[in-house]
Structure 1
Amino acid sequence: MHALPLPIYETVFRELPDAVFLIDPETSNILDCNDAALTQVGLARHEIVQHSVLSLQRDVVGVEQWSSIAQVIRESKGYYFVGQHRHKSGAEVPVEVHTSCFMREGRELFLSIARDITQRVASERDLANREALLSYALTEASDGLWDWNLATNEVFFSPQLKRMLGYGPQEMPPQLQTWESNIHPDDAPWVQLVLREHVEGLRERYDAEYRLRNRNGHYLWVHDRGRVCERDADRKPSRLVGMVENITDRKNAELALQELAAHDMLTGLLNRRECERVLRQQIDLCRRLEICLGLCIFDLDRFKSVNDRFGHAVGDKVLHGVAQLAKSQIRSTDYLFRWGGEEFLMLCPGIGLHDLVILADQIRHKIEQLSWPELEHEGPITCSFGVAVCPDHGHTADALFMSADSAMYRAKANGRNRVECGAPVKPPSQVPYPRSEVPGRPMIY
């Protein structure tokens, strides 16, 4: 408790933008207030003296409670609480109140400063609602979430993800191995490569469709997406989060449709399912004939902006035009497939790395020279290429494909509109066919 000189008291009443109330500690009656206080509660000055803390403050009930509060105010340097002031209209005004005790002309008085926090409460309520909506979207609108700590290899699996795979809330140990061991063996190398390349910064995001085993031993098709969300002091990735969507029904429908046709309807090229069959067939054939097999993957650069700005009809025309140009550049013994979206795959039996790079760069240059009247002022359409040759860059279909695909993403990371080669692999002890194209084999482009 301290004595407050009269000039300071008058300055407080006159200058403070917050409501200020002068209160009798014994009766809780309001003795005086500033203009801001009158505005806050909607009362005239002659009306305010008819109120006490008990009638003005909703959260203080009864003389006994007021006496307890008054004693705390006397014993402390100040008393703080958040409550509700009753407005003359019947509405309630949320306030943040700080009350202190002082002496004036030998009389004990309480001074309460009440700040209107209506906007803050509204903002907090809005934030809480947004957080609730976000929580619902993340936990209910997807089939499952995961959160991977790279330092410890601990992985949080959401209840929805566990339920999708048939596990209870306490099952599925929170470890990376839990996830890795449930990926289909045929999909695991590819999925792990995509994840590793995202962590290393070669892919903008982790995005993969693959088969994941549930508790009963059956495989579900899932679409798994994630991204680095935290980095350590050295800017190295330390945390990844993502979500998993069950796409089994959609994937089964796609596979059923693919059974009906081997060609892509838009471009007329062989489709992805046919590519997987032909790739394995060609690797076996080239091994028996002791010749190389070249594989090239190319993808249109920034194609999403074409669809977004000019519509899918124009985008389809671009895809068809690029497909026809590329097809015109390859030999009759080569294969060209639409791998998916804006991505194409080319197989060239009996071709070495040198000639494959020349062919890919020739196609790249011709695509860049194409004119598109529909894309006026948009600039040229370009592609990024990744090439690999069996056995130099892989001895199996999966290894060869992953080598070329990684090279293509490296081409995008290095500026797009370029050709990159896959990383060589260590040769097996006995290579059944040469590491360059067959001598004298004509190259027809």
Structure 2
Amino acid sequence: MSGHAPEPASSALLQALPQQLWLLDASLQPSLASPSLLDFLGLSLHELQTLGWRQIIHPLDRLEFDLRWQQALLCGRFEMDYRLRDAEGRYRWQLALAQALPSQAGQPLRLLGTHTDISARKEAEARLREADELWKLALESVGDGVWDWYIQEDVEIYSARILQMYGFAESEIKPSPSELDARTHPEDRAQMELDRAAHFAGQVPIYSNEHRVLCKDGSWKWIHSRGMVISRDAQGRPLRMVGTHTDITQRKQAEALIWHQAHFDALTGLPNRRTLRDRLELLLMAAEREGGRLALLFIDLDHFKEVNDTLGHDMGDALLLQAAERIRACVRPQETVARMGGDEFTVVLSDLTDSAEAEAVAQKIILAMAAAFHLHEERVFVSASIGISVFPDDGRQIEELFKHADQALYVAKGAGRNRLGHFTPDLQQAALLRMRLSNDLREALPQGQLSLEYQAIVAMGSRVICKAEALLRWTHPSRGRIGPDLFIPLAESSGLIIEIGEWVFQQAARQVLDWRQRLHPGLQISINKSPVQFRHQQGQADHDQWVATAQELGLADGALAIEITEGLLLEGDSEVNRQLETLRQGGFLVSLDDFGTGFSSLSYLHQYAIDLLKIDQRFVRNLRPGTKDLALCKAIITMAHELGLQVVAEGVETQEQYELLRSAGCDYGQGYLFARPLPVEAFEQLLRQGKA
């Protein structure tokens, strides 16, 4: 078959073959070429032999061809993709397969081979490679790093952006999936492998997982890894997977901050109300299951508001931080201490044997709070009131325990503060009574159940009645007389005090006008005003209207006095000061009630325009010659007169108290020695007498 044309039968056979057939000897001399091959090349067999086989191969493929051909001469098999020049001078990709023919001794080695045109496949692969490069470039341009994982070969190629993301140079990371897998945070590894396995199994169309990766500098970076298997073998096993890494560290930090802010107090770092409820729910379930006991402690700082208002919010915050540390130091590390807001804290004590353990912790907290707080250069004192409820004795549900601890705290504060209170069924009844009274109070004014009584205030030198205090009374249709110490706080907490206070003013204003016109031209009526009325958003407008009403009635200056407590002045609110000035300029006098019982009382006399001081009855009650109470009363009276103020002593009940106060120079007295609070008709009869 050397240079001769094939026989007719052989020629027909070669013509029928779909592949291009060729026969080469060891020196690449073709001795046979099928018609389809010669037609493709545009050459005759002789021209091909003259040109040489290497010359029809693309120049860039010849070096690899030579190497593979030498290997084929040794092993008897040849396989390679290379480009072959066609009759028009273009190169097309061919898959060349050849096998050595059996030869007898002395015969030269020959390889019989075929060409299969694979240009379409090569073009498709080129397009895929181009597409790969395009989407990789697109992803890199938005900051994502790209990875390309050849799964069966255990090879993973990382883009430059991925390496840059973790601080590595290309030479520092091997192209293997185990490289970054080993740098995945141990807490995230299991979920990452589960998500990856789910995608490999076809359970989810896209692999998606968030995990932390250890960077070169030792820091952890949160990334979102997404990917997809793009090729599988005949058995469905994944062959190649491509995906991205997106740096989500900032997002995770923001989420962590938001979560922390939602669950912990920003000032103290303690759990907030929401986290407390979550933890308490778990503890209650465990206690229910195991037959255990736990206690809930509601803690309220006494006199914190005074510190906060007088020394400023920064100092108040510093006090709260120290208070939180003291409470934490009083309980075991595993116990929950939470801040409910303001100056309120909550402690949950678990695994208790009896309620005495909770009491011991509460007393420890009270003792810790009693020590001085050092706030920069200031030294201040507060105390703590604590309410306790116990599971399961006082309730089994969160709301029950909260409600009962709050009721116990209410009792502790009402009993004088700086103490603890336990929940009892009686407290529940008292709370129920307050709720019902609060509801009934809404109907008290429209149904005419409210009235005013007047208590005489006399001049100490003559005992002549010159003033009176208007006192609000509530006669309940079924419960009878309700004490003001019970219903006034209810009116304040519900906001009803605004409407009731307006009614009291209208009644007292018209009453003093009537008595001045008929009985006593110089009579003065004092009206108690709640701090709530000053803080009310319409407070200034209400007081403007009071001034207008007094002028319309023709009331002279000094006919009405407004009694306020030191609690109002503690706020140091410029709006409160403005409202007081409005009243004084409108002819109202301002009287400071319960003087001497508040916090830093003397400072108010410099800040506010006060006309009268009322000495609290606690100083008067035990008034005896040579007592500290007498010394205090004398000091208050002397100081007030030096400042141009008049003094009213409350709670005068004995002749001895009267004589001592009169000798001390007190201007006015009020108390049972002179007269009890009386209805309008009875007080009018007393007023006609002139003295009490």
TM-score by length of 2: 0.26
Structure number with bigger Rg: 2
Higher helix share: 2
TM-score (norm 1): 0.36
Name which structure has the greater RCO, CA cutoff 8 Å, separation 6+.
1
